[in-house]
Structure 1
Amino acid sequence: MKIALAQINPTIGDLDGNRQLLLRYARQAHDQGADLVVFPELSVTGYPPQDLLENPFFRKAAQQTVDRIAQELPSDLGVLLGAPVPNPDQFGKPLYNAALLLENGQVQDHVAKTLLPTYDIFDEDRYFEPAEERRVIEWRGLRLGVHVCEDMWNVHRPEGYAGNHRYECDPVAEIGACDPDLFINLSASPFSIGKHAVRDDLVKHICRRHERPFLLCNQVGANTEIIYDGDSRIHTADGTQVECAASFEEDLLFWDTDAPVSPCRTERDPIADLHDALVLGIRDYYEKTGIFDKALVGLSGGIDSAVTCALATAALGPDRVVGVTMPSEISSEGSITDSEALTHNLGIEFKEIPIKPAVDAFDTMLADEFADTEPGVAEENIQSRARGVTLMALSNKFGHLLLSTGNKSEMAVGYVTLYGDTNGGVAVLSDVLKTRVYKLAHYINERADTDVIPQNTIDKPPSAELRKNQKDTDSLPPYETLDAILERYVEKKKELGTIVGETGLDEDLVRDVLRLVDRNEYKRRQAPPGLRVTEKAFGIGRRIPIVMQWDREAGEALASERPLPR
């Protein structure tokens, strides 16, 4: 038996485009001798389709698309694909998230997803009814242990395993009790830094526990914030990985169940993966929306805008990226020269638009209202907002996609200006801590074997340049310190005492940073969607109320039965 895994990049809602994509890969696999082709979870609709599933016309069109795919496939080819399936019961949710077996022009069988993730970026319980049974699919003498994405992630580990079991049910174990010949998982499993190793460990454990091969077909591509790396794989019954798909691109894997195999191992570089994920995120946002002419980046001469611009150029090509520097009276000479050097190195269009006339106009307009007050942050932020207006005007006039350049460290503590540097269609670095931005800059230069990003941009102290001689450290701890706190608080959800204990930092310093994070949710809520590359990004996967009176320290003290803070 020859089985193919088709790691494809569907577009949410593009039913006809996805149909053509599925058919193209199915026919290619058939031409190369495949008996069965496996596609990712909800590959007909793209994942996640969200409230498109509440539209009855969309649901009906998806069903008709499945029927049409079945009729257009080679008649002797079996295909497993993911699609929503109507729930015939009058009770419960209207749909199942299902894996369908197509052959001979029709749907021969299907199994529904059991575990419906409703946490972080997932909200499947909003739309789907869980499967009531776990079983195998009988096909051409094989017993296929087919299941969908999350169903493999609640595997019960040996005692002492630190993982979290969210559900009572272990679908893989129940399918394993049905004596399958192999496991097949249809996935739309998002990328995050280090996810490759987690998948590898999990699949190996399942294989060794049940002594069965495991085939994982995962979606690739990006849909708004969420990036999928693919990382499809085939493991033999002893857990050895024998086939591995490319990451961050479409691919077609083959496995002959009767042919000899050899181990396949891909070493991962976390920063290289981060780079490739962000490039894919920009490219798919641009191409799948299909409404923009070019990408636009405001250049300050700083590290964040330089890295964003380099990533955009890698994603779209130099002909589709425009860099704009907007100096004010405060701007250093390097702000302009480093920006110009960057655009020269990248080969992109460069514009210089001074904002002094706009800032002067606002100063004059607000002179009476601001009379008898000390100049401060409000006046400084007029510069950022003048730049934001300028960039949005260019975007509006020429149909450019404005890329927001702020990093996760700044977004976390509110070191951003609403309607200024937060403007944009997508925030490229909003899930990348500042220290990782520097690592990306070094990687970009090493990859190109030249200083694409000027060395002066990397070496200069970070500054918003909204007042003379300003440095970020005037308002914030050094980024190495800040990021050590933020990684633990935002991404790992650790509390004050644990962070202090792990880092050895001053408790008052840590407390101040945590308070900044807590009180700046209103800024983050108004920022553009950001590309998700960690397990906990700002955006749809982190739902914190803006208006609330939660006393975090008091709550932590109560939970740990410590004395309440004074």
Structure 2
Amino acid sequence: MKIRIAMAQMNATVGDYLINLEKIKKFIDEACNNKADIIIFPELALNGYPPEDLILKTQFLRDSLSGIEEVLKFSKSKDIIIILGAVDWDIESYNAAFIIYEGKLYGNYRKMFLPNYSVFDEKRYFTPGKIPTLIEINNIKLGITICEDIWVPNGPALSLAQHGANIILNLSSSPFYKERDKVRFEMLKTRASELSSWIVYCNIVGGQDELVFDGRSVVINPYGEIEMSAPHFEEGLYLVDIDPLEPTRANLREGKRKHYNTSIYYSDVNTVPIDKKISQKVPLPFIKKESTDTYTQIYLAIKVGITDYIKKNGFKSVVFGLSGGIDSSLVACIASDAIGSNNVLGLIMPSKFSSKESVEDALQLSKNLGIDYEIIPITNIYDCYMEDLKGSFKDLPFDKTEENIQARIRGNIVMAFSNKFGYLALACGNKSEAATGYATLYGDMAGGFSPIKDLYKTDLYKVAKKYNEIHGKEIITKSIFEKAPSAELRPNQKDQDTLPPYEILDEILFKYIDREMSYDELLNEGYDSELLQRIINMVNQNEYKRRQSAPGIKLTERSFGKDRRMPITNKYKPWI
């Protein structure tokens, strides 16, 4: 007889217990209506992930336990086992999975492996659990793990399998970045195969500050094959019928558990028996959502990140500078998809150095999207600055000072619209610019949110091309794609006057930042030493700018911020 498991791929909001509880109850009811035996929620679904220093507030912890009490009351008439991710608290706090059935708390499992790398700081907040936990229903054993626990080869999952768990549940809050799901799926397939166990992996979905979670919950059979997979970035309940004897057959035939590791990493396992009948049901077909391509995923990640940042922070509309370049064009397009074109305002702010073509491109894009726009020339404002500063500047030659004044005038105007009308100001800079400091502090960096700050320029073009493909028409026009990138802050300016070609620059930046390759290692790969020193100096010298930039969506392995914490005061030069 098969057991039916429901995975609640939930979009939780950090600290919003009322909304999160409402969603949890709705998912439980939907699972009951579909005759599910068990419903599994993501990691910290009740609290939202990551709650960060809210964990240090005792009221937040009390409210979490009150939320568990509410779920207990709600579950009294529900014939379904609930595995709910939430903070547990006594004199310490724990990242836990609560086991609930018919109004009774059967206990909880406390996460044993706490990640403390990349964007994760769980050792700052939680005490690790000490013992693996499984539940037993009608001789069916299901192990419980939380996120990082399943990534550890000789961790709790191994002991659970060796203690007879035919199904291993994993509550997860695993953030998205480029091609992350490939790494995640390969790990889960390996783990299922080596343990001869089903793995039911339930991941959270949605945006939370700099992070986006792609969902992509999945069920892997004991042979390491994907049986069911949920879509990217879509909240929903996904059901699967599992034959609990399939792992036994796989184990008898291949003996994987016996030969994978003869020692038991954790000799004790907490077994929670639950007296629940598994009824016969009309079988459900496996639903397998094929993985979308890399640049569609990035588009969806930015869209969800914008949507949730705006919605969860109480904004309705956005404003930004629309230059006619590829960066602001992509931001305009995805923001329009995220919150509706009627909630998007582009400010076209030409100066004496702006080309006629750029203004035309910005106008055409606005019309293609159906967004509101305003044309506010900045030449007169700029001339007033120059006249008033003429005496102080003492006829010194035109340089980046005058260039940055133009950018800061535009930043002021964007922020004026934000203040006057309550718009969220979006900054439109990319990762290549942020890395090298090719951006103006308090100018084009001004804003409350920076959607593409973790997208390299070369990838930005690919996402923009994919955007047109997804929509089946040329919204971002050919002229925007073909023009040479330029800030247009002086006559005939091109980005490559200051930066190396983006194809070379991004390749080096990726290896230096995302992969942490050293100067010597890059030199050994054949890059010119003068070019490397120039790029590395730009990266290191502009940490002070990045530290003051708006939050933006994590899209790569090593985003600026929590992922990469470098000192501002830093004189280290590896070539000296």
TM-score using structure 2 length: 0.91
Asked if the contact 1:423/1:527 (under 8 Å) is kept, the reply is: yes
* Map of 1:327 onto structure 2: 350
Deviation string for 1:335-375 (max 9, x for gaps)?
A: 21100000000011011111122212211222221114222
Asked if the contact 2:215/2:230 (under 8 Å) is kept, the reply is: yes
Asked if the contact 1:14/1:45 (under 8 Å) is kept, the reply is: yes
Asked if the contact 1:248/1:276 (under 8 Å) is kept, the reply is: yes
Asked if the contact 2:240/2:286 (under 8 Å) is kept, the reply is: no
* Map of 1:483 onto structure 2: 506
Equivalent residue for 2:320, pick from 297, 306, 316: 297
Q: Quote how far apart the aligned CAs of 1:264 are.
A: 3.8
Q: Distance in 2 between matches of 1:123 and 1:138?
A: 33
Asked if the contact 1:67/1:106 (under 8 Å) is kept, the reply is: no
Asked if the contact 1:323/1:349 (under 8 Å) is kept, the reply is: yes
Whether 1:533 and 2:518 are equivalent positions in the alignment is no
Q: Distance in 2 between matches of 1:371 and 1:129?
A: 62
Equivalent residue for 1:76, pick from 57, 74, 79: 79
Asked if the contact 2:32/2:78 (under 8 Å) is kept, the reply is: no
Q: Distance in 2 between matches of 1:87 and 1:545?
A: 37
* Map of 1:270 onto structure 2: 294
Q: Quote how far apart the aligned CAs of 1:265 are.
A: 6.3
Q: Distance in 1 between matches of 2:504 and 2:129?
A: 47
Equivalent residue for 1:118, pick from 104, 116, 119: 116
Single out whichever of 525-534 and 293-302 deviates more from structure 2. 293-302
Q: Quote how far apart the aligned CAs of 1:144 are.
A: 1.5
Q: Quote how far apart the aligned CAs of 1:236 are.
A: 1.2
Q: Quote how far apart the aligned CAs of 1:263 are.
A: 8.6
* Map of 1:154 onto structure 2: 152
* Map of 1:284 onto structure 2: 308
Q: How does 1:460-479 map to 2 (within 5 A)?
A: 460-479=483-502
Asked if the contact 1:67/1:107 (under 8 Å) is kept, the reply is: no
Q: Distance in 1 between matches of 2:329 and 2:465?
A: 12
Q: What's the secondary structure of 1:427's corresponding residue?
A: coil
* Map of 1:513 onto structure 2: 535
Single out whichever of 518-527 and 445-454 deviates more from structure 2. 445-454
* Map of 1:357 onto structure 2: 380
Q: Distance in 2 between matches of 1:427 and 1:492?
A: 23
* Map of 1:14 onto structure 2: 16
Q: What's the secondary structure of 1:429's corresponding residue?
A: coil
Q: Distance in 1 between matches of 2:163 and 2:14?
A: 34
Whether 1:63 and 2:44 are equivalent positions in the alignment is no
Q: Distance in 1 between matches of 2:328 and 2:349?
A: 12
Q: Distance in 1 between matches of 2:115 and 2:210?
A: 17
Q: Quote how far apart the aligned CAs of 1:261 are.
A: 6.5
Deviation string for 1:252-278 (max 9, x for gaps)?
A: 111112458769462331001010110
Q: Distance in 1 between matches of 2:373 and 2:457?
A: 25
Q: Quote how far apart the aligned CAs of 1:96 are.
A: 0.7
Q: Distance in 1 between matches of 2:570 and 2:476?
A: 42
* Map of 1:208 onto structure 2: 193
* Map of 2:545 onto structure 1: 523
Q: Quote how far apart the aligned CAs of 1:400 are.
A: 0.4
The amino acid of 1:207's aligned partner reads A
Whether 1:370 and 2:393 are equivalent positions in the alignment is yes
The amino acid of 1:302's aligned partner reads G
* Map of 2:262 onto structure 1: none
Asked if the contact 2:519/2:574 (under 8 Å) is kept, the reply is: no
Q: Distance in 1 between matches of 2:395 and 2:372?
A: 44
Whether 1:39 and 2:16 are equivalent positions in the alignment is no
Q: What's the secondary structure of 1:426's corresponding residue?
A: coil
Q: Quote how far apart the aligned CAs of 1:175 are.
A: 2.4
Whether 1:543 and 2:528 are equivalent positions in the alignment is no
Q: Distance in 1 between matches of 2:574 and 2:147?
A: 35
The amino acid of 2:543's aligned partner reads E
Whether 1:51 and 2:36 are equivalent positions in the alignment is no
Asked if the contact 1:530/1:538 (under 8 Å) is kept, the reply is: no
Q: How does 1:98-109 map to 2 (within 5 A)?
A: 98-109=96-107
Q: What's the secondary structure of 1:47's corresponding residue?
A: coil
Q: What's the secondary structure of 1:255's corresponding residue?
A: strand
Q: What's the secondary structure of 2:331's corresponding residue?
A: helix
* Map of 1:86 onto structure 2: 89
Deviation string for 1:496-543 (max 9, x for gaps)?
A: 2322343x3312101210111011000000000010011100122211
* Map of 2:249 onto structure 1: none
The amino acid of 1:267's aligned partner reads S
Unaligned runs of 5+ in 1: 89-93, 157-169, 554-564
* Map of 1:379 onto structure 2: 402
Deviation string for 1:399-435 (max 9, x for gaps)?
A: 0011110000010000000000001111111110000
Q: What's the secondary structure of 1:493's corresponding residue?
A: coil
Asked if the contact 2:13/2:208 (under 8 Å) is kept, the reply is: yes
Q: Distance in 1 between matches of 2:395 and 2:342?
A: 50
Q: Quote how far apart the aligned CAs of 1:473 are.
A: 0.5
Q: Distance in 2 between matches of 1:189 and 1:518?
A: 29
Q: Distance in 1 between matches of 2:193 and 2:287?
A: 16
TM-score using structure 1 length: 0.92
* Map of 1:162 onto structure 2: none
Q: What's the secondary structure of 1:545's corresponding residue?
A: coil
* Map of 1:558 onto structure 2: none
Equivalent residue for 1:246, pick from 212, 231, 236: 231
Q: Distance in 2 between matches of 1:208 and 1:244?
A: 17
Q: Distance in 1 between matches of 2:117 and 2:557?
A: 11
Asked if the contact 1:70/1:105 (under 8 Å) is kept, the reply is: yes
